[in-house]
């Protein structure tokens, strides 16, 4: 490399973007050229100074000002995880109404000449468990939704 | 409670903010206000307008957070909002104000860095005089630590153009630094 080529590649040398071969040629020239050593030292100092520019701080109270300017109403976006809360609720409903569902299915299958399916009977404890499950899931969803609405829309 | 939130990981803070938790968002504002304000000051060369732009960026981020999918780093996403806000403000073409004082230069860093306060101030001053495209690319690369690729995406410019802007900006800074400070003085500072 000559001095002109060194000047063209000095920035890539400092930011380590030169290939190994070019870096070797660069180093070889540097050993015997005081002017290019000076050029390199200046660019290294400049790049390092630019890399370490100070972080400026806004005036005190900036954070509070930002929070005070946030719009109180934000579009209500449900997290996809909320749909999971509906899964046990739907399962509970299906289970509670399994007898009429199964009878309906039985009738449907009978019409297409499949006769070995019979509707199961449901006991009182089973119906009680299903009802309790639905009530619990419903209360959970209502409580979470209430807490969310309070946090997003009502809390100061 | 606030101390607990302060030490919470960024992902959790972002997710809580997206659900409307102002306290969590407040911690993110505290963490990033310096970076956004510094970036806006360097892009806009006016502290008053920079503070407005930083504030507007946070408000835009708050509104857009429910749609943040986490495909990029939160900081990169925030820088993009701030960059777009500043560029849009700059296009309004208000009269430019020169950067006041030495922007609170602190003397710290590696040995080969210019530690001399006057030289640092000269560099900051010359950065503020660079053309907008050069100054933006240089700020995003050196100050915000973005890669050429990230800057290209952010500024909608080819990567080669971004790299050329940064190279030319550094070359201009070097020339002006030598003109203003003089080689002899620079040598004295660099090898002191």
Structure tokens at A13: 């040398």
- Residues in B closer than 8 angstroms to A74, CB to CB, are 20, 62-63, 66
Query: Residues 39 to 58 of A: which have CB under 8 A from any B CB?
Result: 41-58
**Chain A partners within 8 Å of B119 (Cβ):** 49
Q: Residues A41, A88: one domain?
A: no
Instruction: Tell me if B125 sits within 8 A of B163, measured CB to CB.
Output: no
The answer as to whether A119 is a domain residue is yes
Residue A87 Cα distances to A90, A91, A95, A145, B73, angstroms: 5, 6, 12, 16, 32
Structure letter (DSSP) for residue B67: G
Task: Report the share of chain A in percent with pLDDT over 90.
Answer: 18
For the question of whether the overall pTM of this predicted structure is more than 0.90, the answer is no
Contact flag A53-B142 (C-beta cutoff 8 Å): yes
- Alpha-carbon span B65 to B16, nearest angstrom: 10
| Domain ranges, ordered by start, for chain B | 2-90, 117-190
Domain that holds residue A28: 3-51
Element (H, E) at B43: helix B22-44
Q: Same fold for the domain at B2-90 and the one at B117-190?
A: no
A61, part of any domain: no
**Residue B61: partners with Cβ closer than 8 Å, 6 or more residues away:** B77, B78, B81
- How many structural domains compose chain A? 2
User: B117-190 maps to which CATH number?
Assistant: 1.10.10.10
- Residues of chain A neighbouring B54 (CB-CB closer than 8 A): 58, 62
Please name which of B88, B54, B101, B99 lies closest in space to residue A58, comparing C-alpha atoms.
Answer: B54
A150 and A90 in a common domain: yes
pLDDT tens, residue by residue, A136-150: 877 877 777 777 666
Chain B: residue whose CA lies nearest to A50: B142
pLDDT in tens, B51-79: 999 999 999 999 888 888 887 889 989 99
Within a domain: residue A72?
no
CA distance A78 to chain B (A): 9
Q: What is the ipTM of this complex?
A: 0.76
Domain B2-90 coded CATH 1.10.630.10 = no
**B48 near B149, Cβ under 8 Å?**
no
pLDDT of residue B112: 57
Q: Does one domain contain both A88 and A42?
A: no
Q: Compute, in degrees rounded to 10, the torsion defined by CA atoms B40, B44, B50, B54.
A: -40
Q: Is residue A90 part of a domain?
A: yes
Residue range A80-101, pLDDT digits in tens? 566 566 777 777 777 778 777 7
């Amino acid at each position: 490399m000559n001095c002109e080529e060194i000047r063209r590649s000095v920035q890539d040398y400092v930011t380590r973007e030169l290939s190994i071969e070019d870096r070797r040629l660069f180093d070889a020239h540097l050993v015997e050229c005081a002017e290019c050593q000076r050029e390199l030292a200046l660019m290294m100092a400049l790049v390092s100074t630019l890399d370490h520019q100070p972080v400026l701080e806004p005036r005190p109270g900036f954070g509070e000002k930002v929070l005070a300017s946030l719009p109180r109403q934000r579009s209500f976006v449900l997290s996809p995880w909320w749909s999971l809360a509906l899964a046990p609720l739907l399962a509970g409903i299906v289970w509670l109404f399994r007898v009429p569902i199964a009878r309906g299915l039985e009738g449907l299958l009978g019409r297409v000449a499949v006769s070995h399916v019979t509707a199961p009977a449901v006991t009182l404890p089973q119906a009680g468990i299903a009802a309790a499950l639905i009530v619990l899931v419903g209360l959970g969803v209502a409580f979470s939704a209430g807490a969310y609405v309070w946090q997003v829309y009502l809390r100061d | 409670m606030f101390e607990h939130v302060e030490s919470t990981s960024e992902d959790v803070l972002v997710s809580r903010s997206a659900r409307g938790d102002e306290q969590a968002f407040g911690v993110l504002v505290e963490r990033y206000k310096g970076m956004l304000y510094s970036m806006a000051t360097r892009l806009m060369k006016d502290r008053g307008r920079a503070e407005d732009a930083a504030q507007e960026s946070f408000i835009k981020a708050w509104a857009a957070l429910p749609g943040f999918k986490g495909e990029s780093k939160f900081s990169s996403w925030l820088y993009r909002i701030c960059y777009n806000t500043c560029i849009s403000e700059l296009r309004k073409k208000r009269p430019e104000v020169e950067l006041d004082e030495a922007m609170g230069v602190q003397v710290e860093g590696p040995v080969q860095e210019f530690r001399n306060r006057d030289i640092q101030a000269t560099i900051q001053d010359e950065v503020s005089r660079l053309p907008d495209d050069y100054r933006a690319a240089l700020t995003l690369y050196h100050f915000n630590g973005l890669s050429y690729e990230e800057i290209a995406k952010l500024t909608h410019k080819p990567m080669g153009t971004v790299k050329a802007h940064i190279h030319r900006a550094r070359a201009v800074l070097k020339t002006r630094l030598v003109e203003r400070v003089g080689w002899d003085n620079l040598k004295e500072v660099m090898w002191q």
